[in-house]
Structure 1
Amino acid sequence: MTAHLTDVDDVFSRGELLARGFTRGEIDRALAHGSLVCVSTGFYAPATLGQHSPQIRHQRWALAMLRSVAKRSALAHVSAATVHGLAIHDIDLSRVRLARDDTQARRGPLVSKHLIVDRRVPEHHVSEVVGARVTSVARTIADLARSEGVGSAVVAADSALQQSLTTLDEVHAVLADIPGVGVARARRTLALVDGRSESPLESLSRLEIGWSGLPAPELQVTLYDSAGRFLGRVDFLWRESRVIGECDGEGKYLGVYGDRTAYETIAQERRRQQALVDEGWQVIRWTWRELVSTPEVVIARIRAALERARRVG
């Protein structure tokens, strides 16, 4: 069995493994050997699944859990978000979230160690993705906005809009369908969503800038030099102050965004920044670690750049 499992990159229930022809003894020996790991009670995966991101691991577990429950169930909340390919930031992945159309249920969600079931999700809020029933993107965003922190919900919603998976009008229409708590909170959160942000770092940076009281920047602006030659596309722009803000995800210099080496990426960024400086732009940068751990330092850096520009006139 071990040799076969190393070729499979998925999560299975014990029943599914037995149906594939593996015996209980083989399953137990693979667990003891470490080639098979227990994801949650009754669900197992090859150890190679640990090489994937937490979102992918949760997605595979959630899809396996869905296969083992009643057919009217659907993945919901963060579990649906992982299937839709939305960006996930600071949301608990320790439980699979399910939804059922038990509209007569009066009690709150059913919560267990590995599972949360919302029993009041209507069928028209459910769609099908990769053969699995999941709440629609609009319903998924509405649920996250009702229950998660502002940053977490905005990151997911920005991601959905950036990929053209839904619209704010569709999310608001879903909210009008949902009774109970959290709807007003969700509407306040959705007012902060902007699909022009292309990464969680950009979304969170935009929120911090807004909360700080700094002037709102333009997003994702293409700049040209005085001769009309392309200089670059920048994350944040304070045009009147001639200040550019760039947020650098760590993957940018680790080969995550293309075939270039870290050295080539850094060299290209330096040339790009120098060209912007030569045209009279002031460029400031910050990283994911800075924004998450010391957002006040990032805000002070932006404020200082704007003040320098004001003094220069």
Structure 2
Amino acid sequence: MEIVPDLRTRSELLASGVTDAEVRRLRRRGEVTTLRRGAYCPATDERLRDPDARHVLRVRATLPALAEGSVVSHISAAALHGLPTWNVDRDRVHVTRDAAGGGRRSPTLHAHIAPLAPDDVVTVDGMAVTSVARTVVDIARDLPFEEAVVVADAALAAGLETALPAAALERAGRWRGTPAARRVLAFADGGGQSVGESRSRVAIARAGLPAPVLQWTVVGPDGRFVARTDFAWPDRGVVGEFDGRVKYGRLLRPGQEAADVVHDEKLREDAIRAQDLAKVRWYWADLAGFARTAARLRARLNL
């Protein structure tokens, strides 16, 4: 039996008969991971391998030690809602309190002070968390545009009604960052199906290219379905696709190998091109410097 099953605090361990010396020994051996000072979990916990799941563990370890009325917010709330994040610091837990003061920031905690309307707070796994709409607005106010769009797109794709973050933003009034949040909400689109696709949309816009149609369906002359593409400029006969590579593994059916999926993808590309469509594909590495991909798109679009 593990001395530290799941998440345990120092006080819980001492109450169960585990000594400080035993905990120190487990830490030296690498058998437990410290989530915050005085909170541990087994190093074999699979959730530690996933950045978002690890952050949720850190939130669970931190919240009981905070002042009453602390509500999980910002990227910590995004993790609890299952919304993906990109290029964010997951070491720091974010909470918000509706109070006159007491905000603070440390390497492990950012306690925000801001009003919280009743509709702004929900319960997730027994914890008070800002609603998806409020979370999107808070992130859009605080994070850079591209990072915020990733979260906003994912929330809309998961079914968030656009009116809800708009209402949350309206309640924010003249809070810091509201102009930036308006830009994020105006740009957000639930048609983005992944972090890479959201980042691609931002890159396309920054390159000055026309906004694409998202998740466009290609049909043959007989009206039959051919494929669905990530991006399309139908009036110019061009489609674009972001290839995160990981999707090949996700598409594997029982008994199927990666080579089979790659072959199927090749047939799919041939079917798309057979409809007199030009196709441009790009990868994760291309998003860091999109100029070459933008030039390829511009050439295909005859701009």
Same fold (TM over 0.5): yes
8 Å Cα contact 1:142/1:174 also seen in 2? yes
CA distance in 2: counterparts of 1:149 and 1:113, whole angstroms: 20
Q: CA deviation at 1:114?
A: 1.0
C-alpha RMSD of matched pairs (Å): 1.9
Q: Write out aligned runs for 1:53-202 (5 A).
A: 53-102=50-99, 104-105=100-101, 109-124=103-118, 125-164=120-159, 166-178=160-172, 179-202=174-197
Per-residue CA distance 1:81-135 (angstroms, 9 max, x = gap): 0000011011111211111221x23x7x311231111132425221101211111
Aligned to 1:265: 261
Specify whether residues 203 and 20 from structure 1 end up closer, same or farther in structure 2 by C-alpha distance, changes over 3 A only.
Answer: farther
CA distance in 2: counterparts of 1:74 and 1:93, whole angstroms: 17
Specify whether residues 11 and 302 from structure 1 end up closer, same or farther in structure 2 by C-alpha distance, changes over 3 A only.
Answer: farther
- Percent identity among equivalent residues? 37
8 Å Cα contact 1:202/1:235 also seen in 2? yes
CA distance in 1: counterparts of 2:133 and 2:7, whole angstroms: 27
SS in 2 for 1:297: helix
In the alignment, residue 79 of structure 1 is paired with which amino acid?
Answer: S
TM-score relative to the length of structure 2: 0.92
CA distance in 1: counterparts of 2:80 and 2:50, whole angstroms: 13
8 Å Cα contact 1:234/1:246 also seen in 2? yes
Specify whether residues 230 and 4 from structure 1 end up closer, same or farther in structure 2 by C-alpha distance, changes over 3 A only.
Answer: farther
Per-residue CA distance 1:167-206 (angstroms, 9 max, x = gap): 2321121122225211112112211101111011111111
In the alignment, residue 214 of structure 1 is paired with which amino acid?
Answer: L
Specify whether residues 242 and 64 from structure 1 end up closer, same or farther in structure 2 by C-alpha distance, changes over 3 A only.
Answer: same
CA distance in 1: counterparts of 2:155 and 2:84, whole angstroms: 8
Per-residue CA distance 1:59-82 (angstroms, 9 max, x = gap): 111122113333421111110100
In the alignment, residue 188 of structure 1 is paired with which amino acid?
Answer: R
Specify whether residues 129 and 207 from structure 1 end up closer, same or farther in structure 2 by C-alpha distance, changes over 3 A only.
Answer: same
Q: Please, which of 30, 41, 44 is the counterpart of residue 34 of structure 1?
A: 30
8 Å Cα contact 2:3/2:18 also seen in 1? no
Aligned to 2:241: 246
CA distance in 2: counterparts of 1:92 and 1:133, whole angstroms: 21
Unaligned runs of 5+ in 2: none
Aligned to 2:19: 23
8 Å Cα contact 1:251/1:257 also seen in 2? no
CA distance in 1: counterparts of 2:236 and 2:170, whole angstroms: 41
SS in 1 for 2:182: helix
Moved over 4 A (4+): none
CA distance in 1: counterparts of 2:140 and 2:18, whole angstroms: 43
Per-residue CA distance 1:247-278 (angstroms, 9 max, x = gap): 1112123x134444321221111010111112
Residues 1:233 and 2:198 aligned together: no
